[in-house]
């Protein structure tokens, strides 16, 4: 990265000292991650943001929903900054509050809303988390989805779960970790009237999966897994649970970005790995572990374009603006949404484990 920008970022951070705390998600670029005070998966970053009450400014190098969650979990006097406001998440955009409210109305009409516990993946907007908080549900991340679903199913006799917005995380967790069958799951398509489901299907389902997905993880294919195994029988396949069910079924290990990192750190020298997650992280792991063979589980490059929007020029601009006394790109969730979203997030933070 540009040495002049590196020097400016360093100087601005030094000038701000303890007043600023920089969080970096594992999918961030190397040029940005070098300035993170902590790195983590979305669960760890939510906890870390809440654990820094002395920092006046939280600069979030990640995507919009993560910065919103940090704002919800930090004190009112702390200001959260997202260096580029265009760093969103296409999956989070697939569930809008009005659409979720329509789905809830349909569940009410089918006579099942009383037994439905909503669970939303962290990758959702603050107003979806607020909806979930208002309806006695919980947030989850890829590192605690099973625990969150266990909690949800224990809330009511004959409970059903409405799982937002990632159908793959929901299905993979329910079927592979919790013993549900594929027939227990139905998919609610927000673009079709009634979600494309009959009232009977809503009554019979245990898991109602929102039709959302990650465009980055959706690219990994079962064919490539089969090809790699045919070429290298020793290869171990390690994937994120946002991958499709077909890919996850063929994997050796499945887990969050933090799990992926710990797995590679603990792996035997000489072991072979193909990793199905965002490319910045896979490249960093390959560079940090030259004693292991680490490859990317796709034929093409596959960055998360919105994570990549946070680059060094944006980080420098955000930090230097803070030094100059100007808070740019502040992420501020409105108080009513925040109140309910915090309840749903706090339930997640209080889960066992
Ligand atoms: P982790 O929760 O594993 O960090 O993954 C979140 C993710 O996909 C970020 O988009
Ligand atoms: Fe969203 Fe997928 Fe990018 Fe994660 S990797 S921020 S889920 S688009």
Determine the distance separating the centroid of ligand 1 and the alpha carbon of 290, expressed in angstroms: 25
* pLDDT tens readout for residues 157-189: 999 999 999 999 999 999 999 999 999 999 999
Rounded mean pLDDT, 23-30: 96
Alpha carbon 148 to chain centroid, angstroms: 14
120 CB within 6 A, ligand 1? no
DSSP assignment, residue 86?
T
Which residue bears the tokens 């970096």?
24
Asked if pLDDT for residue 323 goes beyond 90, the answer is yes
Rounded mean pLDDT, 304-318: 97
Rounded mean pLDDT, 299-325: 95
List alpha helices for the chain, DSSP H: 3-16, 30-33, 42-50, 64-73, 97-109, 126-134, 145-153, 167-172, 199-204, 222-231, 245-250, 257-266, 279-288, 312-323, 335-349
Asked if pLDDT for residue 301 goes beyond 90, the answer is no
Determine the distance separating the centroid of ligand 1 and the alpha carbon of 257, expressed in angstroms: 6
Distance CA 221, CA 296 (A): 12
89 CB within 6 A, ligand 2? yes
Q: Give Rg (Cα) of the chain.
A: 21
Class in CATH terms, 217-296: alpha beta
Ligand 2: which of 82, 256, 278 to mutate, judged by most atoms within 8 Å of the beta carbon?
278
pTM for this structure? 0.96
Determine the distance separating the centroid of ligand 2 and the alpha carbon of 201, expressed in angstroms: 30
Distance CA 224, CA 116 (A): 37
Same fold, 92-214 and 217-296: yes
90 CB within 6 A, ligand 2? yes
CB 59, CB 22: distance < 8 Å: yes
* pLDDT tens readout for residues 8-20: 999 999 999 999 9
Rama region for 136: left / alpha / beta (φ>0; ψ in -120 to 50; rest): left
Give the per-residue pLDDT at 50.
85
Homologous superfamily assigned to 3-88+307-335:
NadA-like (3.40.50.10800)
214 CB within 6 A, ligand 2? yes
The residues facing 208 across adjacent strands are: 162, 186
Give the per-residue pLDDT at 47.
86
Give the per-residue pLDDT at 43.
85
Banded pLDDT at 206 (limits 50, 70, 90): very high
Domain ranges of the chain: 3-88+307-335, 92-214, 217-296
**192 Cβ neighbours under 8 A, 6+ residues apart:** none
Question: Would you identify the CATH topology of the domain 92-214?
Answer: Rossmann fold (3.40.50)
**210 Cβ neighbours under 8 A, 6+ residues apart:** 94, 95, 100, 103, 162, 163, 164, 165, 166, 167, 170, 187, 188, 190
Rounded mean pLDDT, 104-131: 97
In residues, how long is the chain?
353
Distance CA 309, CA 288 (A): 24
Q: Report the mean per-residue pLDDT for the chain.
A: 96
Asked if pLDDT for residue 344 goes beyond 90, the answer is yes
């Amino acid at each position: 990265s540009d040495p002049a920008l590196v020097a400016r970022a360093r100087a601005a951070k030094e000038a701000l000292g303890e007043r600023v705390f920089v969080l970096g998600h594992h999918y961030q670029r190397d040029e940005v991650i070098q300035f993170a005070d902590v790195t983590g998966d979305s669960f760890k970053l939510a906890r870390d943001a809440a654990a820094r009450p002395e920092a006046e400014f939280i600069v979030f190098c990640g995507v919009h929903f993560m910065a919103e969650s940090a704002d919800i979990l930090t004190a009112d006097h702390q200001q959260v900054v997202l260096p580029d406001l265009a760093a969103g998440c296409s999956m989070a955009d697939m569930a809008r509050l009005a659409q979720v409210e329509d789905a809830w109305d349909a569940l009410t009409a089918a006579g099942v809303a009383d037994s439905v516990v909503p669970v939303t993946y962290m990758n959702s907007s603050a107003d979806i988390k607020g909806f979930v908080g208002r309806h006695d549900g919980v947030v989850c991340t890829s590192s605690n989805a099973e625990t969150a679903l266990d909690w949800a199913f224990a809330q009511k006799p004959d409970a059903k779960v409405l799982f937002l917005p990632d159908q793959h995380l929901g299905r993979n967790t329910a079927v592979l970790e919790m013993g549900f069958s594929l027939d227990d799951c139905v998919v609610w398509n927000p673009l079709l009237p009634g979600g494309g489901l009959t009232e009977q299907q809503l009554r019979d389902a245990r898991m109602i999966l929102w039709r959302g997905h990650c465009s980055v993880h959706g690219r990994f294919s079962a064919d490539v897994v089969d090809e790699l195994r045919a070429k290298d029988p020793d290869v171990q396949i390690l994937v994120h649970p946002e991958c499709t069910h077909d890919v996850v079924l063929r994997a050796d290990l499945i887990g969050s970005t933090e799990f992926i990192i710990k797995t590679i750190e603990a792996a035997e020298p000489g072991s072979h790995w193909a990793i199905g997650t965002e490319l910045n992280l896979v490249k960093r792991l390959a560079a940090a572990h030259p004693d292991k063979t680490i490859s990317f589980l796709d034929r093409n490059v596959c960055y998360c374009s919105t994570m990549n929007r946070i680059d060094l020029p944006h980080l420098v601009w955000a930090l230097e603006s803070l030094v100059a006394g100007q808070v740019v790109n502040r992420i501020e969730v409105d108080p009513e949404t925040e109140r309910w979203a915090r309840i749903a997030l706090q339930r997640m933070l209080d889960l066992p484990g």
